[in-house]
Amino acid sequence: MKTIDELLAEGVAGKRVFVRADLNVPLDGTTITDDGRIRAVQPTIARLAEAGARVIVASHLGRPKGAPDPAFSLAPAATRLGELLGAEVAFATDTVGDSARAVVSGLADGQVAVVENLRFNAGETSKDDAERGAFADQLAELADLYVGDGFGAVHRKHASVFDLPARLPHAAGGLIATEVGVLRKLTDDVRRPYAVVLGGAKVSDKLGVIDHLLGKADRILIGGGMAYTFLKAKGYEIGTSLLQEDQIPAVQEYLKRAEETGVEFVLPVDVSVAEEFPDLKTKAPAESSVVAADAIPAGRMGLDIGPETGRLYASKLADARTVFWNGPMGVFEHPDYAEGTRAVAQALVDSTGFSVVGGGGGRGAGHPAAAVRTLGFDEKAFGHISTGGGASLEYLEGKTLPGLAALED
């Protein structure tokens, strides 16, 4: 995989460099609530601009349906990028149309432009190779070189991620190089004990990585909404907690395999429950109580791991030399249900092991990466804060990621 260092050594002054970034940040209207992904790619963009390149930054944001939608405009991200760069960033109101061509042709050496949301074009995400390729052809006309640095999108076979690198000389940006290097520490040369903490809403999102890690991790700690499917699989009553009933057989099989292979599977021993889901907009105080994980009352739902579980998980992470964490322990966006996620984050801060916090603050912001920032933790206290949620998981599953494969040839 050619690196940006090699590309810069060859010289980029005066050349149009297309940077596929990941600016998929959470927005409250037009206000960015977590700019972590923009800050992560900013160094690559800055290096290219300082070397005299004419930088064209492109990204998706959210899931518009192949047509322009003002709610998903990249304009706020372009403004924030300019603030981080300390320089004006031009913004094209389309991706490959008149505005994009005019903005790109107006760039001088060292200047940066952002084009509008790639997913405003149906060809970006099309499953039809010809349609996707046609859009990649249009993107290729804007540039001379391609730099892939949107790690959060490399697991997608999309035009700007997979097809475009085949049409231009290409290299991996600094962010992708860092992310891949970190993930190799979780797969190829792991320091043990190796603990994995998995949370989030759906157990189905994590089945592949659980299956793969059962042969690699020493401990797997489960929290978040997905924990209740595990508790149900053990025969516990879970009230109105989130449940994926169709996944119970798979979960039971994993629990059995873990026992047979000596992998320690750790589930909540107590949970914070309430009668209804909290109001995340007003964050009004919510009534809740802590109950044993095997005694959730009917009519109540689990919304966070309990304090005893927080202490248990901290003890399981204390001596770990490698930790991968993906998925919050509860509804951390509400202060009454953030303590479980806070407990895990604090355990990683206190640990001397190498910790990787997965997930990176997309529009949903339901990731530990967003949580540690929301809860006020210093990012430097963790080994690595990843910008890729799904991409990190698929890499750990051993899958071939289209965006990385496209940069390797």
Nearest to 37 by CA among 184, 186, 151, 200: 151
Tokens of 121: 């074009």
HSE on the CB side for 69, CA within 13 Å? 16
Residues with Cβ within 8 Å of residue 11, at least 6 apart in sequence: 51
Residue 186 annotated as part of some ligand binding site: no
Structural contact between residues 383 and 178, judged by C-beta atoms closer than 8 angstroms: no
Three-state SS at 94: coil
Query: Is the peptide bond between 68 and the residue preceding it cis, with omega within 30 degrees of 0?
Result: no
62 is in an annotated binding site: yes
Among residues 123, 157, 126, 155, which one has the least CA distance to residue 139?
123
Determine whether the annotation assigns residue 80 to a binding site: no
Q: Is 302 annotated as a binding residue?
A: yes
Give the start-end residues of each E strand in 152-256. 170-172, 194-198, 219-222
Q: Is 24 labeled as ligand-binding?
A: yes
Instruction: Say if residue 106 carries a ligand binding annotation.
Output: no
Q: How far apart are CA 155 and CA 403, in angstroms?
A: 6
Which value, in Å, is the radius of gyration of the alpha carbons in the chain?
Answer: 22
Instruction: Give the distance, in angstroms, between the CA of residue 348 and the centroid of all CA atoms in the same chain.
Output: 18
Could you give the CA distance from residue 273 to residue 305 in angstroms, rounded to a whole number? Answer: 9
Contact 269, 319 (CB under 8 A): no
Largest CA distance in the chain: 67
Dist CA 13 CA 154 (whole Å): 27
CA angle 287–290–294, rounded 5-degree value? 130
Find out whether 20 and 160 touch, Cβ atoms under 8 Å.
Answer: yes
How far does Cα 105 stand from its chain's mean position?
Answer: 33
The answer to whether 16 is annotated as binding is: no
Q: Does the annotation flag 81 for ligand binding?
A: no
Whether 23 has a binding-site annotation, put simply, is yes
Amino acid at 206: K
**Which residues carry out catalysis?**
37, 202, 360, 390
**Is 206 one of the annotated binding-site residues?**
yes
Residue 399, marked binder? no
The pair of structure tokens assigned to 128 is 């039809």
SS3 content of the chain, % helix, strand, coil (to 5): 40, 15, 40
For residue 148, the Cα-to-chain-centroid distance in whole angstroms is 16
Residue 119 marked in a binding site = yes
The answer on whether 98 is annotated among ligand-binding residues is no
Task: Please report, in range form, the residues annotated as the binding site for ATP.
Answer: 206, 302, 333
Q: Summarize the annotated binding site as residue ranges.
A: 22-24, 37, 60-63, 119, 156, 206, 302, 333
Residue positions forming the annotated binding site for substrate: 22-24, 37, 60-63, 119, 156
